[in-house]
A = this chain, B = another copy of it.
Amino acid sequence: MIGAAGGLVGDQGHVVSGTTRYLATGFPFVWKSQLWFPLLVGSGTVAVGELRLRIAPVRARGDWSDGLAAIAAVLAIYAVTALVRGRPLGPGTVLVAGLAVLVWRALGASTPGAVCGLIAAIVGTTTEIVMVAAGVFEYADDADALAGVAPWLPALYFAFGVVAARLGELLAPQARPG
């Protein structure tokens, strides 16, 4: 649910800024997104959270304000990717990548977090490249330098993966030590 709602909030930024445009027809829209988008982001959030719990035991505890801050951080980066529309891609990509690293560091700089971030970056970017190639949606002409998608996209997915992993940790059933 968190992932789906966050996906809707972030995606409307890309649509209203003209960064991305939906091409396929026949899907109902939710706000500015086609229905499958929030479902995909929501499932991805759950999948990454599950993955995190399978990789390694959860050590870093936290409270709900950690989760809120993690969600705020990734939505802020998502908004930045919409706001740099029309600006040179080089510094925009450097900014998003730098922020993604800072989010990873602020959320504990953990190895499992980095693994989840890298997997999200690879799977998410590849999925979007395939969907763009299939004509489902497209990036604007000045933001499609990475095989049809934006060059900052892997960094955005990395931050998403790190945050989803952290949410998985926070929502995990609390195993009490012996």
Which residues in A have some Cβ–Cβ distance to B below 8 Å? 9-10, 12-13, 16-17, 65-66, 68-69, 72-73, 75-76, 78-80, 82-85, 87-88, 90-92, 94-95, 97-99, 101-102, 105, 109
CA distance A129 to B9 in the complex (A): 25
With A13-B90, A82-B90 given, name 4 new contacts (CB 8 A): A68-B105, A72-B105, A75-B97, A83-B95
Q: Of B16, B65, B66, which contacts A91 at CB under 8 A? A: B16
CB pair A72 B88 closer than 8 Å: no
In angstroms, how far is the closest chain B Cβ from the Cβ of A157? 17
A-B contact pairs, 21 of them (CB 8 A): A12-B90, A13-B88, A13-B90, A13-B91, A16-B91, A65-B105, A68-B105, A69-B101, A72-B98, A72-B105, A73-B102, A75-B94, A75-B98, A76-B95, A76-B99, A76-B102, A79-B92, A83-B87, A83-B92, A83-B95, A85-B87
Residues of B within 8 A of A99 (CB): 72, 76
The residue of chain B having its C-beta at the shortest distance from the C-beta of A77 within the complex is B98
Q: Is the interface of A mostly helix, strand, loop or mixed?
A: helix
CB pair B68 A101 closer than 8 Å: yes
Residues of B within 8 A of A84 (CB): 83
Residues of B within 8 A of A83 (CB): 84, 87-88, 91-92, 95
CB pair B75 A82 closer than 8 Å: no
CA distance A95 to B10 in the complex (A): 10
Q: Of B13, B72, B79, which contacts A102 at CB under 8 A? A: B72
